[in-house]
Amino acid sequence: MSSLRGRVALVTGAARGLGRAVCVRLAEEGVHIVGVDIGRQIATVDYPMADTESLDETRSLVEATGARMVAVPADVRSSAEMREAVEVAVREFGRLDIVLPNAAIAPLRGPVGEEEATWHDVIDVNLTGAWNTAHAALPAVIEGGRGGSVVFTNSTAGLRGLGGGTVAFCAYTAAKHGLVGLARTLARDVGRYDIRVNTIHPAGINTPMMVNDAAAAFMEENPEFTSSVHPALPVRFMEPRDVSEAILWLVSDSARYVTGVALPVDAGCAL
């Protein structure tokens, strides 16, 4: 993947989990990073979210590879903040080649009596936030004239319906299905600039978003849900590093003709 050396990637949700893993993996290939994360809690999310210190830790891990990273605390729900993040990328590195709208939230229930707020927060982060990121970043990629790649972090929930019986699950699944349509439309729109747009669909990943007290309690209380998302391969949770390898391939020149694809990396969970 040495063809990536010197390119610049904008990664949202970079403070931990898959976002951190892909930042480090790209950096190992010589990619410079602009890492974005909100760095604070959203009230409807029932597990602890990352803080700004976590984003700084990602930067340290990236810089240990020899690549550079600029950390940008920003909320993907704000189109203005995402435009500012893109401006940082262009100002610091002079280019932008790879866009990874990865930021997401996955509350399982949300606060009692706050179903409407939960719905809006999940849609606003997981779908509108992804749109804000791509919409802000694509003009800079187009202006570079070198082509590029966008990979939306999706989910098994973007390929099949998930039960669970909560507004949070409905919103999450709706947002992830929406990302497939968004990616396919953008792939048509920006293909003439040699920019590729894909989605990647992991199942459960060993990250704080999936492995936390709230999730454990929900799974224990709803064994039928757990069985409904059981993978075909003998694994409970995938590791972030393994999923980042698939993203690395999608943004590399090895996948130069792959666009508009919804790629499952899910141990057979969507079968």
The answer to whether residue 47 is catalytic is no
Whether the predicted pLDDT of 227 surpasses 70? no
CA–CA dist 210, 8 (Å, integer): 29
The chain-wide mean pLDDT, for the chain, equals 94
Q: For the whole model, what pTM was predicted?
A: 0.95
CA–CA dist 241, 65 (Å, integer): 15
First to last CA, the chain: 30
Enumerate the domain spans of the chain. 2-264
CA–CA dist 48, 51 (Å, integer): 9
Q: What is 124-156 written as a DSSP string?
A: IIIIIHHHHHHHHHHHHHHHHTS-EEEEEE--G
pLDDT value of position 36: 98
Which CATH superfamily does the domain covering 2-264 fall into? NAD(P)-binding Rossmann-like Domain (3.40.50.720)
Inter-CA distances, 127 with 121, 164, 173, Å:
10, 20, 10
> Smallest Cα–Cα separation from 4: which of 196, 251, 258, 199?
251
The predicted-structure confidence for 144-175, as pLDDT tens digits, reads as follows: 999 999 999 999 999 988 766 889 989 999 99
The predicted-structure confidence for 181-210, as pLDDT tens digits, reads as follows: 999 999 999 999 999 999 999 998 999 888
pLDDT value of position 49: 96
The predicted-structure confidence for 88-137, as pLDDT tens digits, reads as follows: 999 999 999 999 999 999 998 888 888 999 999 999 999 999 999 999 99
pLDDT value of position 112: 84
Per cent of the chain over pLDDT 70 is: 97
